[in-house]
Amino acid sequence: MSKFNLILKDELISTNAYLKEKIKSKEITKDTAVLAFSQTSGRGRLERKWYSEDKKSLTMSIALTSPLSPCVTLLCALGVYDVLKDMIESDALKIKWPNDIVVRSKKLCGILTERVMNFTVIGIGLNVNNESFPTELSKKATSIFLETQKAFNIEEIGKTLCENLINTLKETNFSFDENTRNKYKNLCVNLGRQVEFGTPAKTGVATDISSFGELIVATDTGDNKISFGDVFVSGIY
Ligand code: BT5
């Protein structure tokens, strides 16, 4: 981690957009992370809005030169989980395929991975010290503070997340070996539950995660392999 460059910014439009721009303009040529204490227009997948609160939410992105990997988002979720499990002592801390960390039925963290040239840009939105959320998210979102009643230092969490994610990705060589896959499966809330996916919507039971990180869903017409998009889990979201 000593050689790793973590840039701190008071405000950015989006930490992912910032790194992507700097990679394209060749201002960034080696592994770099950026953490913004305020993010004004954060994005999730499919350009959805990501909500964050100044100095209370962690908004960070890490750019790593890496091979193309179909399961990078799932590996990142495992890396983030490993950090959070030391802060939230809860059996309810799980991963919702592919990119969410949840506590019971609420979202604590979202991860957005994007590919730019030979870099993978990993964006992490983590609710840290938030005491409440806007009405539209109040039933869906939670924070470390709401789960533990303790406040945490955002910069410290950011540094720990960088270290853990980089270790997880390098140790696994960006791939899903049997051990890693089993660890993910044990934490995945989708498995064994009724899920809804695709357009037009289909329903089935999530049964497995493939070695490429796909969610396997058994329906009346057979097994479906889902590699992207939203999957709604009955009783969660
Ligand atoms: C994600 O997208 O979960 C990935 C979010 C990644 C955000 C980070 S912040 C740092 C970096 N810079 C960026 O611009 N982005 C990354 P998705 O699976 O599409 O989920 C988005 C949905 O989550 C929204 O449509 C809301 O329903 C919900 N949501 C938005 N903000 C939330 C929050 N703070 N906590 C919980 N849920 C939220």
* Beta carbon of 15 within 6 Å of any ligand 1 atom: yes
**Distance from Cα 37 to the centre of ligand 1, integer Å:** 16
Q: Which residues pair with 62 in a beta bridge?
A: 33, 122
Strand locations in 47-90 (E) = 49-50, 57-65
Residue 37's pLDDT is 98
Q: Is the pLDDT of residue 228 over 70?
A: yes
| Measured CA distances, 191 to 8, 140, 215 (Å) | 38, 20, 9
Residue 89's pLDDT is 80
Residue 203's pLDDT is 96
Q: Is the pLDDT of residue 4 over 80?
A: no
- The pLDDT tens digits of the residues spanning 47-56 come to 899 999 999 9
The mean pLDDT value of the chain amounts to 94
Distance between CA atoms of 137 and 134, rounded to whole angstroms? 6
Q: For residue 5, what pLDDT band results from cuts at 50, 70 and 90?
A: confident
**Distance from Cα 35 to the centre of ligand 1, integer Å:** 16
Evaluated on CA atoms 176, 181, 187, 188, the torsion sign reads positive
**Angle at alpha carbon of residue 121, lines to 76 and 35, rounded to 5°:** 90
Residue 1's pLDDT is 47
Residue 202's pLDDT is 95
Residue 2's pLDDT is 46
Q: What's this model's pTM, rounded to 2 decimal places?
A: 0.96
Q: Is the pLDDT of residue 152 over 70?
A: yes
> In this structure, which residue's CA is closest to atom 3 in ligand 1?
110
Q: What is the crossing angle of helices 72-84 and 154-171, to 10°? A: 130
Considering the chain, what percentage of its residues have pLDDT values greater than 90?
A: 87
How far from each other are the two terminal CA atoms of the chain, in whole angstroms? Answer: 36
Q: Is the pLDDT of residue 74 over 70?
A: yes
Distance between CA atoms of 215 and 196, rounded to whole angstroms? 12
- The pLDDT tens digits of the residues spanning 156-170 come to 999 999 999 998 998
- The pLDDT tens digits of the residues spanning 80-133 come to 999 999 999 879 999 999 999 999 989 999 999 999 999 999 999 999 999 999
Q: For residue 218, what pLDDT band results from cuts at 50, 70 and 90?
A: very high
Q: Which of 38, 50, 162 to mutate to test the pocket of ligand 1 (most atoms within 8 A of CB)?
A: 50
Residue 3's pLDDT is 61
Q: For residue 21, what pLDDT band results from cuts at 50, 70 and 90?
A: very high
**Distance from Cα 222 to the centre of ligand 1, integer Å:** 32
> In this structure, which residue's CA is closest to atom 35 in ligand 1?
141
Q: What does the buried/exposed string (b/e) look like for 26-63 if buried means 16 or more CB atoms within 10 Å of the residue's CB?
A: eebeebbbbbbbebeebbbbeeeebbbbeebbbbbbbb
Task: Determine phi and psi for 75, rounding to 5 degrees.
Answer: -65, -40
Q: Is the pLDDT of residue 197 over 90?
A: yes
Q: Is the pLDDT of residue 229 over 90?
A: no
Q: Residue holding tokens 């289909």?
A: 202
